[in-house]
């Protein structure tokens, strides 16, 4: 038996070889998928004690430097952990920089669903990515992609926000008319 200790998605298949050295795989690629295509099989390995992010959204997706974005989330504790939720972290990434935790909201050990929000003003023009992490009192965690529960109940991000220096004027209409002499 193969054991994968880390959460994620894994694909399994088989190859068969006869005494003459002829081979085939679970998709029967060497026999035009006959008598059938049986795989590979996808197996999701989850950390069942991990809390989950049930919803995650960032609005607006385009801002002028100095404006705020609102990051909303809905998280829930795992039924199997029983430890309750400890906190939610807001993470931000700029360009090629590493992800950084920029804010944290403490929770009171809730064992069900919790909704909340953060506000943030990106510090400079450019593209920024936002995400959240939820952590329970036993130290189990998950992110907006629900990486520790094989993207269940969903993959919500990260969310990209574009920040411009200042509002530029816009052209409302444009028309070329023939010249008359």
DSSP tag of 171: -
Residue range(s) in the chain whose domain bears CATH number 2.60.40.10: 52-164
pLDDT at 72: 97
Write the CB contacts of 47 (distance below 8 Å, at least 6 apart in sequence): 7, 140, 148, 149
Which is more confident, 103 or 78?
103
CA pair distance 29, 24, nearest whole angstrom:
6
User: Which class does domain 52-164 fall in?
Assistant: mainly beta
pLDDT at residue 171 greater than cutoff 60: yes
pLDDT band at 56 (very low <50, low <70, confident <90, very high): very high
pLDDT band at 154 (very low <50, low <70, confident <90, very high): confident
pLDDT tens per residue, range 106-141: 999 888 899 999 999 999 999 999 999 999 998 889
Burial of 141 (0-12, 13-18, 19+ CB in 10 A): middle
DSSP string computed for 31-74: GTT-S----PEEEEE--TT--EEEEEEEE-SEEETT--EEEEEE
Q: Check: CB of residue 130 under 8 Å from CB of residue 92.
A: yes
pLDDT band at 40 (very low <50, low <70, confident <90, very high): confident
pLDDT at 44: 56
């Amino acid at each position: 038996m193969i054991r994968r200790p880390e959460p994620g998605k894994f694909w399994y298949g088989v190859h068969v070889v006869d005494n003459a050295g002829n081979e085939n795989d679970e998709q029967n690629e060497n026999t035009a998928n006959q008598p059938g295509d049986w795989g590979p099989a996808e197996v999701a390995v989850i950390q069942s004690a991990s809390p989950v992010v049930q919803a995650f959204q960032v609005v607006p997706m385009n801002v002028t430097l100095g404006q705020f974005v609102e990051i909303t989330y809905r998280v829930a504790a795992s039924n199997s952990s029983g430890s309750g939720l400890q906190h939610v972290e807001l993470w931000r990434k700029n360009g090629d920089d590493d992800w950084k935790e920029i804010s944290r909201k403490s929770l009171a050990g809730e064992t069900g669903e919790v909704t909340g929000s953060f506000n943030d003003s990106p510090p400079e023009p450019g593209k920024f990515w936002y995400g959240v992490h939820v952590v329970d009192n036993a130290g189990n965690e998950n992110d907006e992609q629900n990486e520790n529960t094989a993207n269940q109940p969903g993959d919500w991000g990260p969310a990209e926000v574009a920040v411009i220096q200042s509002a530029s004027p816009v052209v409302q209409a444009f028309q070329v008319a023939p010249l008359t002499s």
